[in-house]
Amino acid sequence: MRAFSYERASSVEAAAKAVASNPDAKFIAGGTNLLDLMKLEIETPTHLVDVNGLELDQIQATPDGGLRIGALVRNTDLAAHAKVRSDYGLLSRALLAGASGQLRNKATTAGNLLQRTRCPYFYDPNQPCNKRQPGSGCSAIGGFTRQHGIVGVSDACIATHPSDMAIAMRALDAVVETVKSDGGRRSILIADFYRRPGDTPHIETILEHGEFITAVALPSPLGGKHVYRKVRDRASYAFALISVGAVIQPDGRGRFAVGGVAPKPWRIEAAEAELPKGARAATEILLADAHPTEQNRFKIDLVKRTLGAVVEEARG
């Protein structure tokens, strides 16, 4: 691990300013992904700004009937919160499908959104990787691609986003609230939060350097039945081959987002209109632009079948 300096932020604004003033600085909270990346020298910040003392660990009702989740709420606490369990069951289930108990105790809401891909080539400094070292090439293309993306990818990167929580947030239309170093605030629809890789896969979100996530807001509850189903190579502590998070109403209408197929939580609202006709029709629209490899073509059928199972489970 490379040497770095460290400070504890005294306020949200001070944290944003401290990171913005140094191009090699980063925020640190739970550190469940960043510290691993630093040990491998994949991330090499020269300065860390610790935000753990900023008292952003509250979950509060909003005036419009929704919930505001502080950026530092730990994944375990969010999954166990009574209101999340009763009204946003999809979010609770997605969180509990991710990582391990120990990791969920440390991992934060904002950090979960910002975790990096688990593409194995990204974690191997001996392999070219455009996301780790822009312009070096993509080892996955032409390599081992069973875990990789099939839609929304580019010729520069076919990695997937690993978060389970983000799939639920996307289906629930969450809004990411931020503060910039100049004090300006933004509310960003999660649909707009992640970028597609294009030619710059190392830039993963629309956040500016130093822009600090303070909270994630959820709109008022949708009702319906909430299901999160994750398909993976082993029963726990593994990332998704694919996952489906859905809210299904009694009449068969609903909304859903899919993980493990794209560089961002994948939701196509037009596909949801097809849901009453069946999972096949909905998946055809959801994955209409898919460009799978020979090794991950199976994900198309897997999404179809998993979505069908999710709808069946929801309708009892």
Residues lying near ligand SF4 in the complex (CB under 6 A): 117, 119, 121-122, 129-131, 138-140, 157-159, 201
C-alpha gyration radius of the chain: 19
Pick 94 or 140: Cβ nearer ligand SF4: 140
C-beta atoms surrounding 192 within 10 Å: 12
Q: In terms of DSSP bridges, do strands 212-218 and 175-179 run parallel, antiparallel, or are they unpaired?
A: antiparallel
Which 8-state DSSP code applies to residue 266? B
Pick 49 or 119: Cβ nearer ligand SF4: 119
Rounded Cα–Cα distance for residues 272 and 263 (Å)? 20
Pick 109 or 147: Cβ nearer ligand SF4: 147
Task: Please name which of 196, 309, 303, 291 lies closest in space to residue 258, comparing C-alpha atoms.
Answer: 303
In the complex, the smallest distance separating the C-beta of residue 201 from ligand SF4, rounded to whole angstroms, is 5
In the complex, the smallest distance separating the C-beta of residue 155 from ligand SF4, rounded to whole angstroms, is 10
In the complex, the smallest distance separating the C-beta of residue 152 from ligand SF4, rounded to whole angstroms, is 12
Indicate the helix (H) or strand (E) that contains 308. Answer: helix 298-315
In the complex, the smallest distance separating the C-beta of residue 159 from ligand SF4, rounded to whole angstroms, is 4
In the complex, the smallest distance separating the C-beta of residue 263 from ligand SF4, rounded to whole angstroms, is 8
| CB 252, CB 276: distance < 8 Å | yes
Rounded Cα–Cα distance for residues 260 and 266 (Å)? 9
In the complex, the smallest distance separating the C-beta of residue 195 from ligand SF4, rounded to whole angstroms, is 13
Task: Please name which of 146, 194, 160 lies closest in space to residue 298, comparing C-alpha atoms.
Answer: 146
Pick 130 or 296: Cβ nearer ligand SF4: 130
In the complex, the smallest distance separating the C-beta of residue 208 from ligand SF4, rounded to whole angstroms, is 22
Pick 119 or 242: Cβ nearer ligand SF4: 119
- CB-count burial class (<10 Å; 0-12, 13-18, 19+) for 271: buried
Pick 74 or 148: Cβ nearer ligand SF4: 148
Pick 132 or 304: Cβ nearer ligand SF4: 132
Which residues neighbour 100 within 8 Å (Cβ) at sequence distance 6 or greater?
A: 236, 237
